[in-house]
Amino acid sequence: MSTPTPTPRSRILGTGHYAPARVVTNVDLEKVVDTSDAWITDRTGIRRRHLAADGETTSDMAAAAARHALEAAGLSVADLDMIIVGTISGDTPVPSCAVHVQQKLGAEEIPAFDISAACAGFLYGMTIADQFIATGTATCVLVIGVELLSRLVNWEDRTTCVLFGDGAGAVVLGPARGDGRGILSTCLFSDGALSTSLIVPAGGTAEPATPEGLAGKRNKVHMVGQDIFRSAIKNLTSASTLALKASGLRSAELDWVVAHQANLRIITQVSARLGFPLEKFVLNIEEYGNTSSASIPIALDEAVRDGRIQPNQSVLLCALGAGLSWGAALVRM
């Protein structure tokens, strides 16, 4: 028996993204750490990544993506009544990245806040926006996924520094119009038992930054890649299956999957487990690497702008990252 398709409460009005101009190839990284283009390409699918310029900030990138999304939606900053930013690499520990974005956009005194869910940050933000719109508390919400991880990785650690890139993606959400288009389902999960699988150990209250900690790079990303790899395949598959079921759609009715771009091997295995062809996955890991919370909105915007994703098509979004935190959503565009 199939689940009835729920009536969407919110829908995507516009998408946008920003990628820094500076491109660093795998061959460039061969001069930085003991690695090779062949290893990075074979093990991850990454060939290049865009890295922020000196002086460029997380909120600069987020504001650029936001303007792009507002333009696509035909709206202005004055139309916004909430700003949600998914990020783990904001400009400052305090205050939020969202208020820096608010100030740069010139937005009014509206709520602006961050979500810390690493690579799942955009999905968490979009789900929260959907809830605010569903209750009628908000009517126009800007959701941004942005990361500047090149300043959070240890450039002497080949197991992490080759993986990440910088960038931002954004969507503007507004109330659904009753035509079936919009967010059909969302599901979110976290498992703190795996909190040390990807962690920045120092710089918080548990381990305040000290000269010794900084010298030992404890203020940089530490990752147990294989734990996350295994968990990603399992949990992205189960969350996607759940979101699909809750949407009332059959997998044959699915047009596209926009999965978090962490590793092409993870995406390939999720594709096989879902029984959904890889050609229907929007892939850009080759160009950007892992941009954490920015990865889904960047890929979504690219596929909307180049015409792959068309109005009324159904798109599955799924992501997993540090936390571990993960989730999935089904959207009729």
Which residue among the candidates 26, 235, 263, 290 is catalytic per the annotation? 290
Q: With the CA atoms of 86, 91, 97 and 103 taken in that order, what torsion angle do they form, in degrees rounded to the nearest 10?
A: -140
In the complex, the smallest distance separating the C-beta of residue 174 from ligand ACO, rounded to whole angstroms, is: 29
Tell me how far apart the alpha carbons of residues 122 and 169 are, in angstroms, rounded to a whole number. Answer: 9
| Known active-site residue 290 | yes
Nearer to ligand ACO, 35 or 313 (CB): 35
HSE-CB of 207 using CA atoms within 13 angstroms: 13
Which candidate, 115, 99, 111, places its Cα nearest to that of 137?
A: 111
CB of 157 to ligand ACO, least distance (A): 9
Q: How far is the CB of 265 from ligand ACO (least distance, A)?
A: 7
d(CA 288, CA 23): 9
Contacts with ligand ACO, residue ranges (CB under 6 A) = 35, 39-40, 43-44, 118-119, 158-159, 162, 198, 225-226, 228-229, 232, 262-263, 290, 292, 321-322
Continuous H helices in the chain: 26-30, 37-44, 58-73, 97-105, 121-134, 158-161, 211-215, 225-247, 264-274, 285-288, 295-305
Structure token digits, residue 199? 């962690």
Least CB distance from residue 130 to ligand ACO, whole Å? 22
Q: How far apart, in whole angstroms, are the C-alpha atoms of residue 34 and residue 32?
A: 7
Q: Is 50 marked active-site?
A: no
Q: Is the dihedral of CA 150, 308, 251, 329 positive or negative?
A: positive
Nearer Cβ to ligand ACO, position 143 or 228? 228
Q: Which is nearer to ligand ACO, 104 or 273 (CB)?
A: 273
Nearer to ligand ACO, 36 or 313 (CB): 36
Which listed residue (17, 100, 222, 260) is catalytic? 260
Taking the complex as a whole, the smallest distance from the CB of residue 142 to ligand ACO amounts, in Å, to 22
The alpha carbon of 84 is separated from its chain's Cα centroid by a whole number of angstroms, namely 13
Nearer residue to ligand ACO within complex by CB, 38 or 78: 38
Tell the smallest beta-carbon distance from residue 226 to ligand ACO (Å).
5
* Structure token pair of residue 188: 């979110």
Residue type, 41: T
Annotated active-site residue 219? The verdict is no
Unique residue bearing structure tokens 């699988």 = 197
* Active-site option among 50, 97, 119, 235: 119
Q: Any idea which residue has 């450039």 for tokens?
A: 155
Considering the complex, state which of residue 35 and residue 131 has its C-beta at the smaller distance from ligand ACO: 35
* Residues known to be catalytic: 119, 260, 290
